Structure formats: C-alpha cells, structure tokens
Chain A
Amino acid sequence: MFTYCQEPGLLSGFDWWSCYLTTGKHLAFYGSFGTVMMLLLLTVPLILILGFAGALARRASFAPVRWLGLIYTSMVRGVPDIVFFLFALIALDQGIEYMRHIVLCPDWSEPIRQGNDFRVCDIAKMPLSSAPQWQHEVYGFFLAMVGFAVVFGAFAANTIYGALCAVPHSQLETGAAFGMTQRQVFRRILLPQMWVYALPGLSNLWMILIKATPLLFLLGVEDIVYWARELGGAKTGRFEYPHPDWRLGYFLALLVFYLFLTWISERIFARLNARVSRGQATMGGTV
C-alpha cells in the first residue's frame, strides 16, 4: 500500500501496523463487511415478499393454499435455522443441477444417484466447472441469500399474519360499508395500518437476521468470519508479517462491529416506530 512497505521485516511500531493493516488480504477483509451489509440489504426485500406471500396464503379462502402457508410458516419455526440452511442450500443446488440436467442432456442414460454420488452431465453443472472463480462466489452468495430469505420469510410471514389479524375488524367493515371493494379495503385500510402491529416483530426479526449473518461463513461464503480466522491464525516467520495467534483480537473486532450494528438499528427502529404510530389509536400513538 505505502512505499515504505517493501521490506516488512525491517519495520516496527506504527509503520509496521500501518503496513500490516493495509495488506491485500486485509483489504479483502474490510471488503467482506460490505458483503455482509449487502446480504442484509438484498435479502430484506425478498424476506418481505416471502413474508407477505406466506401471510396472505394463510389468509386465503382456498383451503390447499391456506395449508401450504401454514406448513411453510410452522415448518421453519420448529426446526433450527442452521439445519434449514444446510438442507435448503444443498437441496437447491442439486435441484437446479437436476433441472438443467433434464433439459440439457436428454439422452443421458445413467442414473443420477449412483450409490453415494450425485452425478449430472458436465454442461449441467452449476456454475460450469470451467467458469471463473468470481462466478462460483456469486453463485454461492446467491444460494445463501435464497436460504436466508426462505428461513426468515417464514418468520416474517408469522409476524405479518399476526399484524394483519390485529387491525380492528370494525375498520374493515367501515370500509366495506362505504362501498369499497375487497382490494380497496386491503390497500387503503388494512395495509397502512398493519405496520404499527408488524413493526415490533419485524424489528426483532431484523435483529435476529443481523445475528444470523456469521452463518454465511458456514455456507461457504468468504465473509468476515472467514477472513478473521484466516488473518488471525498464527503466522510463522515464512510470512511477511509474522505474528502469534491473534484470532481473539479479530473476533473482538467483529463483536464490536455487531454491537454497533445492533445499537444503531435499535435507534432507527425507535424512530420508525414513532413515525408509523402517528395518529394511531394505540398507547404509543396518542399524538
């Protein structure tokens, strides 16, 4: 990074630290904080969409759709999220490859499951084994995102379902009495008011989501935990910047990052809550 970093062995004190903390790997480490934030920001819309879909499915008048919604929301609640992640990821990966296999290699005669192997033809591999490294990483990130969205979408569906039920029924009836159609009642009365009831649950969910992001590491994404382990591990004299096992220090830095993230989220949600409570007939919304 700096010109005086050519000979790290000769440096000490501040110079050493300034060089050590700006190596290529450290820059990748700082970049991985962006990966985590990106995952958070990209999955939230997906989670809300899935949450709404699940909640509306549970309210549907057509029974099989209702059952589907109920199964989706209760299944994820009963099983630890990490088990679900591991399962959903491999299942999704194999599912995609299986589909591509059927479409791309119609005249493949061997069975796909050969004993302990899962074998699809080469051009059905996802991503192709010849693809550059960044495609593999993006694909892994995409899978992780979908996994997060499926699990947290179920939690969101529960919250949104509860919030939709909590809007006073008489208000909906008033809307109907004014001659609004069901759609209009939903859009003009139900939807704007449900946020008051949904927000405490959704903010709680956001906190849980933040605290679930280290699981990205388990899903094979090179996130902050990966880099903290990589950089913190003891480095012998063969390396440019030898140091003993510093993993504790790196993890403490991650701890501070997460504490800051939850602290700032708490403040933002407090404000948002005041905003949506305006003019509501609840204890928090008297003004």
Chain B
Amino acid sequence: MSCAETFAGYALRSLGIGERLLPRSDFTLCEQVVLIGSGMIWNVYFAVFALAFGFFAATAVAVARASERWWLREPARAFIFVLRGSPLFIQFFIAYETFVLIPKAGIDINLGFIEITAETRWLTKAWLGALIVLFLNTTAYTAQIFHGALMSVPKGDLEAADSIGMPPFRRFRRIVFPSMLRLAWASYTNEAIFLFHATSLVFFSSFPAWRQAGDALYYANYFADKTFNPFIPYPIIAGYFIAFTLLLTIGFGFVNRHLNRHLRESR
C-alpha cells in the first residue's frame, strides 16, 4: 500500500470512516504517522470544545466567586476547590462511574404540560462524557485565573465608569471584562496548553474506545504495544503535540495583541 492510499484509508479512521481493520504487522512509518494524526482529531476536538465552553462558564464562575452574595460566592469557591484540588485522572473515573449508574434509557422529566426525555446514553461515550469532565476541569482552573485578574482590575477604572453613570452590566462589559482578560491572558494561555496536553489522558479515562476509534495516544500505544518499540510512535505523537501547541500559542498571541492594541508597542 502506498502512502497516499494509506492516507486515504486511515486519515479519518478515528471517526470510523475508511478502512475498518487496523494494520496488524509490518507497520510502515507512513501508517503510524497517518493513524496517530487521525487520532489527533479527537485531541483537538476535546481541546477546542472544552476551551470554548469553558471560557464562558469560567467567566460566570469567576464573577460568582467575586460576588458579595454568599450563596453565589461559596458554591463557586467550593466548585473551584474540588476541581483544582483533585487529579483530573480521578475526576475521569468518578465521572465515568457516575454516568454508568445513570439509567441508559434516559430520564423522563415531567414539566406538567410537557414531558421531556433527557438523553443519557451518550454520557458514557468519550465524545460527550470525557468532554464534560475536561470542560468542568478547565472551567475551574480558568475561573481561578479570571478571579485573580478580576481582583486586580484598577479601582479607578470602576470609579470612572460609575461617575459617568454607566449601568452595572455595561460597566462589566466595557470596563471590567476587557481589563480582566488583558490581565489574565498570559496565565490563560498556559492553562490552554495544559488542557490540550490533558486531552491525552482521555485514553486512560476508562471511557471505552469504540471500534478501535480512539485518540492519538490510543494509536501510539497500539503501535508501541505491537512492535515493542517506543522509539517511533511516541516521538511521532510528541511531534504532533508540539506542532499543535505551537499553533495554540500563536493563536493566543494574536488575541493578546488584539487585547493590548491600545497600548504602545513595547519591546
């Protein structure tokens, strides 16, 4: 099989498209690169969606954490403490065991005038279950970063906004939120990189890989197990991660420049 054929057959293998059977012996370098790259689709999927949803949720949690009302502040504090204080690995296990206990058929929610069936069977699948865990985890870490930044927004800015009679929500949107992002962005970039790296843990999270469609580490581990030679698949997956981390850093760098565009270019 030539490399182009391998690519056509296996590039989307992790989504269940293409060849059904994985190669069993005499692995070529091309097969390893293509299959591990195919698995990277899942890592990128987890990172993108967890970060995208987590960003907004974290803003809400950070604001709640800074609230003067105790019934908003304390739950936010507890949420952050539990998720930041425990290993992601344990969180994966707990989430999986919990999701397994939820009845597969769905839960009927009776709202009086209409009955809704909440779909629960997807929760035990990695694409949703693991995503929820990663989302909650990054929400907690990001909320802590945002909360720190929120506390460092200069008081003078808020007083200026109040003095011209800005309503609270507009004050948040125009003054507090942009300042918070600006202050938090460097740490948030780090968190995004950590989360992206954490997606490789999904492989061990006990969410089963269905029909051998797994993430990058699933395939790397498959090759390493079959050939008993770690010196090819692991450097390949490392290369992929370095490349995507670089892309992530560049992307976040652009946003950083956009956030600080009003400042004099500092070198």
Contacts and interface: CB of A to CB of B under 8 A. Distances in A.
B228 A82 contact: no
B152 interface: no
Contact of A251 (B82, B94, B101, B224): B94
B224 A90 contact: yes
A262 B3 CA distance: 49
A48 B242 CA distance: 25
A83 B241 contact: yes
Contact of B97 (A113, A211, A247, A263): A247
B55 interface: no
B94 A212 contact: no
Nearest to A261: B85
A118 B228 contact: yes
A82 B237 CA distance: 11
Given A90-B224, A118-B228, A82 B93 contact: no
A117 B231 CA distance: 13
Pairs of residues from A and B, 7 with the lowest C-beta to C-beta distance, nearest first: A80-B197, A87-B234, A211-B87, A248-B97, A262-B85, A214-B89, A78-B242
A116 B241 contact: no
B94 A86 contact: no
Nearest to B201: A82
Nearest to B84: A262
A254 B89 CA distance: 11
A78 B241 contact: yes
B245 interface: yes
A177 interface: no
Nearest to A263: B85
B251 to A, nearest CB: 16
B151 interface: no
B228 A116 contact: yes
B25 A116 contact: yes
A258 B87 contact: yes
B229 A225 contact: no
Contacts of A262: 84-86
A191 interface: no
A86 B228 contact: no
A56 interface: no
A238 to B, nearest CB: 23
Main secondary structure of the interface of A (DSSP, over half): helix
B230 interface: yes
Contacts of B241: 78-80, 83
A211 B238 contact: no
Q: Which of B25, B88, B217, B229 gathers the greatest number of chain A CB atoms within 10 Å?
A: B229
A251 B87 contact: no
Given A211-B88, A255-B94, A116 B227 contact: yes
A214 B93 CA distance: 11
B198 A80 contact: yes
Give the dominant DSSP class at B's interface. Answer: helix
B98 A83 contact: no
Interface residues of B, number: 39
Nearest to A214: B89
A100 to B, nearest CB: 17
B226 interface: yes
B111 interface: no
B260 interface: no
A91 interface: yes
B229 A118 contact: yes
Nearest to A89: B230
B221 A86 contact: yes
A113 B231 CA distance: 12
B231 A91 contact: yes
B210 interface: no
Interface in B28-64: none
B70 interface: no
Given A87-B238, A251-B97, A263-B85, 4 more contacts: A78-B241, A80-B200, A80-B241, A251-B90
Interface in A202-233: 210-215, 217-218, 225
Contacts of A166: none
Contacts of A251: 90, 93-94, 97
B220 interface: yes
Given A78-B241, A91-B231, A83 B90 contact: no
Interface string A182-216: 00000000000000000000000000001111110
Contact of B90 (A78, A117, A245, A254): A254
Contact of A83 (B85, B226, B237, B245): B237
Interface in A254-275: 254-255, 258-259, 262-263
A87 B198 CA distance: 16
B70 to A, nearest CB: 21
16 contacts: A79-B238, A82-B200, A83-B200, A83-B234, A86-B221, A90-B230, A116-B227, A116-B229, A210-B87, A251-B90, A251-B93, A255-B90, A255-B91, A258-B87, A259-B85, A262-B85
A1 B70 CA distance: 47
Contact of A87 (B98, B204, B230): B230
